[in-house]
């Protein structure tokens, strides 16, 4: 019997198991300041990988976003600009710091925040912009950087989906003040749960290390408000192995994405994902758009695919500005965001998807969408 081809699947082998067992045998499972040997090693390797001066490992990507805004001093009365077509955590981080999320519409071709619409949302209360590298395609970071500089704003890049992506020759984070990463189980590389903040600013790095451990620089003496956001040693050990394997994972994702693009090119009703010439996708999600569809038509296609064991999935059905908690008093209308939320769905391209499965996915899509 056929098994569902899942949208994402952790790629765990013997090396990961050995690394975890080694930590267990060492007896060092964590360190008071969150800087045990495996964490330090993972931070050093990740920092090199993204070409950043500092990397601070934490226990998930949501924590990374929360503390990045805390480190730069976002507080009540402030506003932070972000897209609405993203995972809730991006907005949650703003609200957790007492500030107001201000949603800006997306570019319909990249699905990322539309830089041309950012300036209209800036006012005296605006403190930061959080561009999200959605589906693994970097946002237009240089343009966003220039807008931020002009208005004296901080840029926190949500790179949770973008391990291995490239923007104008640079890894995510290079045009931001801080970049936040997730190693959740579905991501291009995983530690089960986990996160990282990368930055070139010494002052932010110092604060982030304090926040990770209850605001302490040394034991039991808090100098600022913090949290317990430490990454366990087991996760860091897992992360080191996964990071070494990442190039191989990325190559497989890229190949699967290219094959799907070749095979689906003739399906007129689908708009396929594009890679602008100045960017390289991480192919975390291969997201297509069903042209001229509404959510009902798209969901019908999705159900048919799922009945055929193709784990097509929608990211995201409900943009954040339309979620009950975030809707607030005034209804905001973001036409491109809302249209995308009704029309997009993603197809599996993770490294575990075989060539035979890619053929099967493409054939199933062609059968369902005439």
Ligand X SMILES: Cc1ncc(COP(=O)(O)O)c(C=O)c1O
Element (H, E) at 127: strand 126-129
154 lies in the site for ligand X, by CB under 6 A: no
CB 117 within 8 A of CB 83: no
139 lies in the site for ligand X, by CB under 6 A: no
CB 281 within 8 A of CB 136: yes
For the beta carbon of residue 13, count every other beta carbon within 10 angstroms.
10
231 lies in the site for ligand X, by CB under 6 A: no
Give the three-state DSSP class for 84.
coil
Calpha distance 72→225 (Å, rounded): 13
62 lies in the site for ligand X, by CB under 6 A: yes
* CB nearer ligand X, residue 86 or residue 308: 86
Q: Which of 68, 160, 285, 334 binds ligand X (CB under 6 A)?
A: 160
* CB nearer ligand X, residue 61 or residue 319: 61
- Biggest CA–CA distance in the chain, Å, is 65
Give, as ranges, the residues between 70 and 129 that touch ligand X (CB under 6 A): 86-87, 89-90
Q: Which of 30, 161, 188, 242 binds ligand X (CB under 6 A)?
A: 161
* CB nearer ligand X, residue 49 or residue 87: 87
DSSP H helical segments within 187-323, as ranges? Answer: 202-212, 233-264, 295-307
* CB nearer ligand X, residue 86 or residue 343: 86
Give the three-state DSSP class for 337.
helix
Question: In DSSP terms, which residues pair with 157 in a beta bridge?
Answer: 179
185 CA to centre of own chain: 12
Residues in contact with 221: Cβ distance below 8 Å, sequence separation at least 6, in sequence order: none
User: How many binding residues for ligand X (CB under 6 A)?
Assistant: 14
The residue with its CB nearest to ligand X is 61
60 lies in the site for ligand X, by CB under 6 A: yes
Q: Which of 115, 164, 173, 195 binds ligand X (CB under 6 A)?
A: 195
337 lies in the site for ligand X, by CB under 6 A: no
Interacting residue ranges for ligand X, rule: CB under 6 A: 60-62, 86-87, 89-90, 132, 158, 160-161, 182, 184, 195
């Amino acid at each position: 019997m056929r098994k569902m081809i899942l949208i994402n699947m952790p790629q765990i082998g013997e090396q990961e198991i050995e690394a975890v067992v080694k930590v267990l045998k060492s007896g060092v499972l964590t360190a008071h300041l969150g800087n045990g040997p495996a964490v330090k090693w993972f931070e050093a390797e990740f920092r090199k990988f993204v070409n950043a001066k500092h990397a601070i490992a934490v226990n998930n990507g949501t924590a990374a976003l929360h503390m990045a805004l805390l480190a730069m001093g976002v507080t009540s009365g402030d506003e932070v600009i972000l897209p609405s077509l993203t995972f809730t955590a991006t907005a949650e981080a703003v609200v957790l710091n007492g500030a107001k999320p201000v949603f800006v519409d997306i570019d319909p071709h990249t699905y990322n925040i539309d830089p041309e619409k950012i300036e209209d949302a800036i006012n005296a209360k605006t403190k930061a912009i959080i561009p999200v590298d959605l589906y693994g395609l970097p946002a237009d970071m240089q343009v966003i950087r220039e807008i931020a500089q002009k208005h004296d704003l901080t840029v926190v890049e949500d790179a949770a989906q973008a391990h291995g992506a490239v923007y104008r020759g640079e890894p995510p984070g290079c045009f931001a003040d801080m970049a936040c990463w997730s190693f959740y189980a579905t991501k291009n590389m995983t530690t089960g749960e986990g996160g990282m903040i990368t930055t070139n600013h010494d002052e932010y790095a110092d604060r982030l290390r304090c926040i990770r451990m209850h605001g302490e620089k040394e034991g039991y003496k808090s100098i600022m408000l913090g949290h317990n956001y430490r990454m366990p040693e087991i996760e860091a050990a897992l992360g080191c192995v996964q990071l070494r394997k990442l190039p191989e994972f990325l190559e497989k994702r890229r190949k699967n994405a290219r094959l799907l693009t070749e095979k689906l090119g003739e399906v007129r009703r689908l708009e396929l994902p594009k890679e602008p010439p100045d960017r390289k996708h991480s192919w975390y999600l291969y997201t297509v758009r069903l042209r001229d569809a509404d959510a009902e038509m798209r969901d019908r296609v999705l159900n048919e695919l799922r009945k055929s064991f193709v784990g097509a999935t929608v990211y995201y059905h409900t943009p954040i500005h339309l979620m009950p908690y975030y809707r607030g008093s005034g209804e905001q209308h973001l036409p491109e965001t809302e249209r995308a939320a009704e029309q997009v769905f993603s197809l599996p391209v993770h490294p575990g998807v075989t060539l035979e499965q890619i053929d099967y996915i493409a054939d199933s899509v062609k059968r369902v969408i005439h």
